Amino acid sequence: MTSEAWLPRITAIFRSYDLDGDGQLGRDDLIAYAGRIAENLTDPGDTRRRAALYDVYAELWTQLAAVSDTDRGGRISEQEFVAATARGAFDADPHFRDSTLRALDCLADALDRDGDGTIDPAEYERIFGATGLDRDTSALAFETVDADGDGRITRAELRAAAVHLYPLADPAWLTGDTAPAGGPRGIALVAHDTRKADLLAWTERRAAELGRHRLYGTGTTGTLINRKLGLPVIPLRSGPLGGDQQIGALVTSGDIDLLIFFYDPLSAHPHGDDVRALIRLAALANIPIALNAATADALIASVGAQIPGQSAAPVPASQASSDVSSEASVPA
């Protein structure tokens, strides 16, 4: 899909979310948007549908921010929103896919006032007032969305039209049963104090590949990577102050796909129990773990190979052997 085709639609979606018109999206905007939908599509006493809408749009904000809030300022500009769509970041992120599907289910549930599992023309007409999108959008006309022409819109047909409701460059992944194999991954970047310089050097060398993914960093490590390399890192607390446990929670929730932890095996750590718990959780969740530069190179290269159009930078043999020889092994 060319930018000429989707750009007006994406800006329209952004501006429909931006209810106060300040050119920035925040969590409060998505909550207000959920309120607008609830007001237009549900009865005042329908607490179940209303609560579901508020919950799902709060969740959707989290996924929008993770993908497009590149400066980690807690707000998303229209430029960031459009840029994330242009690089296919929303389409490729399985977490955003799941959130979008839940939002669509809530929207369909609110539209289906008689509860028969489908949406008739009168029920569907209310979608325009609820979303703020233009009634003249031909791709959202009832006759277009009702692909089989039976006079009812199913959830599957609504999903096919969802590219016009959410910031997607290509709706194909949304209508399938599974998310695509490639796409941005959640990568946790952690280092003990004596290894922060090593991790920073490795991150700088792999900045091109890492910039395609969703990065999480604990304490000083995340701040250094963001300030010195300009990579967007979702900040967490310092490891000894709970950052390792935050990473563990993200592993458990499925938000972390790779754990890169430059571990110091020669020093005692007052939060050693937290470190061991984190590694245990990652192992149980079958999350790949890199404790040194050589392993981190192998993991980021394997992830890069799964993303269409991305080729991981080859690691010179001399560099790889140097990395291996410079890293101490972790005791069992």
140-195 pLDDT, tens per residue? 899 999 989 999 999 888 888 888 888 887 666 666 544 444 456 789 999 888 99
Q: pLDDT tens across 195-219, in order? A: 999 999 999 999 888 888 888 988 8
Q: Average pLDDT, whole number, for the chain?
A: 80
Q: pLDDT tens across 225-273, in order? A: 888 888 888 888 887 788 888 888 888 777 888 999 998 887 776 667 7
In whole angstroms, what is the distance from residue 223 CA to residue 151 CA? 55
Q: Roughly how many angstroms between the first and final C-alpha of the chain, as a whole number?
A: 52
Question: How is residue 140 written in tokens?
Answer: 């959202």
Annotation marks residue 18 as catalytic = no
- Other beta carbons within 10 angstroms of residue 321's beta carbon come to 12
Q: Provide the b/e sequence for 107-139 (b: ≥16 CB within 10 Å).
A: bbbbbbbeeeebbbeebbebbeebbbbeeebee
- Other beta carbons within 10 angstroms of residue 165's beta carbon come to 21
Q: pLDDT tens across 26-53, in order? A: 999 999 999 999 999 999 899 999 999 9
Q: pLDDT tens across 137-154, in order? A: 777 899 999 989 999 999
* Residue of 69, 91, 93, 244 marked catalytic: 244
Question: How is residue 83 written in tokens?
Answer: 């840029």
Q: What is the DSSP string of 196-210?
A: HHHHHHHHHHTHHHH
